[in-house]
Amino acid sequence: MSLARLKGAAAYLDESQGTVSIEAAVEDQDEEVESLLNSFDVDKQAACGTLRPVGADEATAPPSKHRKVAARLMDHVQLSSSLETASAGVVVDTTLSDYQRYWNQFKDFCAAIEKVKSAQDVDGLWPDLPADFPTWIALWIMDK
């Protein structure tokens, strides 16, 4: 690092000492600590399953049994067509073999964490997947 750069840094440091008070720095640090502690609480609640997500509209409109389901803007055929168009060129020669390799790795992982007796048992779970199946997927991704 050049001496000229250090002189510039020293000038900025001197200038900041006149504009940033120690009290402001301490307050910022206290807020950061509070934010960190709150994130631990959120993580703990999420791990225990007690975290309740709050939506933006929840503060203004309480949940109602009588809410009407919004009309679907597109039907299944239109959505499938849009997906097919967007996916054009995505599936290449190795895509299917990659998917099969990932699926086999996932099945081995499920057996390793003892969610099933053997990796082949995962295939037999369809169509009645366990409620915590998405958690298995998340654990597998986190383990990678």
The average pLDDT across 115-120 equals 96
37 vs 33: CA distance, rounded Å: 6
CA–CA distances in Å: residue 38 to residues 31, 33, 107:
10, 9, 36
User: pTM, whole model, 2 decimals?
Assistant: 0.41
* CA dihedral for 127, 132, 138, 141, sign (positive or negative): negative
39 vs 133: CA distance, rounded Å: 26
For the chain, give every domain's residue range: 1-50, 95-144
143 vs 104: CA distance, rounded Å: 15
pLDDT at 56 over 70: no
Q: How confident is the model at residue 31 (pLDDT cuts 50, 70, 90)?
A: confident
109 vs 103: CA distance, rounded Å: 10
